[in-house]
Chain A
Amino acid sequence: MKRFSKKIHTAFTALLFLGGSVAVFVLVSHMETRGGEALRERLQLIADEQVFEQQFNTLISTVNDTEEERTTLAGFILEDERDTIELLSTLDTIAKEQSVELTTRELRENEVEGSFNTLLLGYEIRGQETAVVRMSEILETLPYHGHVTSFVMDRNTDETTGNVTMTAKLNLELSIKKHDQ
């Protein structure tokens, strides 16, 4: 009986060790799997950061390399109201130099989607034919991003004196940078 009990004890101990080793194996495997997933997440994070860093460096490089060009191009866009007032004053000066009567018919800023709003300018130009045509060309070739949306010319000949005068109505649409940007 004593020998039988000893054998049972030995078998139980062996089974206990077996169970323990299996449990340790399962536990270690589970920890290994979890560690692997954590490793995957961290590697993904590192890869993302590397991509961000690379793109950031590229962007910085582009910004530095193109600064002069962008500054030049930005000069062809109306920046703010001060630029607008300066432009209007300049046009008045030019009109005076060109001996034409320049009347502002419309001046308003139109909200549009995107980075820029549009400044709507409507002018009526009166004067000698050549001067009016030249003034119209000047308005057409304003060194700002924009275009002429409509242009109407009306020639009037005085029957008594034979003087030819011209009236031109011109609408311009210029890009102006949004104030909130």
Chain B
Amino acid sequence: MTRTVFKRSQGYQEQKLMNPAREWVIGISILIGIVIVAGVFDAREYFKYNSLASEIEGKTIEIKKYRHSVAERARQSFDARLQQFNQLKSQIPTVLPPVVLTASSTATTTPEVSSETQTEADAVDTPAVTDVVSEETAPTSTLSIGE
């Protein structure tokens, strides 16, 4: 009985929790898996940011464009207008202005004098309407635009 027991006890095999070959395979597999995952991740990140500089575009800014053609047309238009203005301005009437003989409704404090009694001779002696202008502030300046 004792022999039998001892004999059988020798038959128990030690349980191998660690199998070097198996553990190496597992370890290397995990290592390769990590390397592959990391490689894929890094490759994805690389391709994601590699062409980033060319993909990114700056903000679009709205700046009013200077339209040369419009400005040129405006300048020509104003030049023509200025030329016409100067031409008209230089045409000084040579005749003496007549007295305005139309009835006026303007209220006045001076004794009423009928304008119908005035004659052409009076018109020459009487200060003309131009003097009305001359009594105002005497202007000294002239237009100097484009001149």
A interface vs B, CB < 8 Å? 4, 7-8, 10-11, 14, 18, 21-22, 25, 29, 32-33, 36, 39-40, 43-44, 47-52, 55, 58-59, 62, 66, 69-70, 72-73, 75-76, 86-90, 92-102, 126-128, 130-131, 134, 137-138, 141-145, 156, 158, 160-161, 163, 165, 167
Q: Which residues of chain B are within 8 angstroms of A73 by Cβ–Cβ distance?
A: 71, 74-75, 78
Q: Which residues of chain A are within 8 angstroms of B98 by Cβ–Cβ distance?
A: 128, 161, 163, 165
Q: Which residues of chain A are within 8 angstroms of B137 by Cβ–Cβ distance?
A: 89, 92
Whether B52 pairs with A39 at a CB distance below 8 angstroms is: yes
Q: Which residues of chain B are within 8 angstroms of A66 by Cβ–Cβ distance?
A: 66, 68, 71
Whether B68 pairs with A29 at a CB distance below 8 angstroms is: no
Whether A33 pairs with B45 at a CB distance below 8 angstroms is: yes
Annotate B105-147 by CB proximity to A: 1 below 8 A, 0 otherwise.
0000000000010011000000011101110110111110110
Whether B11 sits at the interface, judged by CB under 8 Å, is no
Who on chain B is nearest to A158 by CB?
B101
Q: Which residues of chain B are within 8 angstroms of A143 by Cβ–Cβ distance?
A: 78, 81-82, 85, 143, 145-146
Instruction: Tell me the B33-89 residues at the A interface (CB within 8 Å).
Output: 34, 37-38, 41-42, 45, 48-49, 52-53, 56-61, 63, 66, 68, 71-72, 74-75, 78, 81-82, 84-85, 88-89
Bound-complex Cα distance A112 to B133 (A): 32
Given contacts A92-B136, A143-B143, contact A22 B101 (CB under 8 A): no
B interface vs A, CB < 8 Å? 17-18, 23, 27, 30, 34, 37-38, 41-42, 45, 48-49, 52-53, 56-61, 63, 66, 68, 71-72, 74-75, 78, 81-82, 84-85, 88-89, 91-93, 95-102, 116, 119-120, 128-130, 132-134, 136-137, 139-143, 145-146
| Residue from A43, A96, A161 in contact with B53 in the complex, judged by beta carbons closer than 8 Å | A43
Whether A11 pairs with B88 at a CB distance below 8 angstroms is: no
Whether B45 pairs with A32 at a CB distance below 8 angstroms is: yes
Whether B95 pairs with A51 at a CB distance below 8 angstroms is: no
Whether B95 pairs with A75 at a CB distance below 8 angstroms is: no
Whether A89 pairs with B139 at a CB distance below 8 angstroms is: yes
| Residue from A10, A86, A130 in contact with B141 in the complex, judged by beta carbons closer than 8 Å | A86
Bound-complex Cα distance A49 to B57 (A): 11
Bound-complex Cα distance A94 to B18 (A): 117
| Residue from A4, A39, A127, A156 in contact with B17 in the complex, judged by beta carbons closer than 8 Å | A4
- 23 A-B residue pairings within 8 Å (CB atoms): A7-B17, A14-B23, A36-B49, A39-B49, A40-B49, A51-B58, A66-B66, A72-B146, A75-B146, A89-B140, A89-B141, A92-B137, A92-B139, A93-B142, A99-B96, A99-B130, A101-B130, A137-B88, A141-B88, A143-B145, A165-B98, A165-B101, A167-B102
Bound-complex Cα distance A74 to B10 (A): 116
Whether A158 pairs with B102 at a CB distance below 8 angstroms is: yes
Bound-complex Cα distance A66 to B30 (A): 71
Known: A72-B146, A89-B137, A158-B101. 9 other contacts (CB 8 A): A47-B57, A50-B58, A52-B58, A58-B63, A99-B129, A144-B145, A156-B102, A165-B102, A167-B102
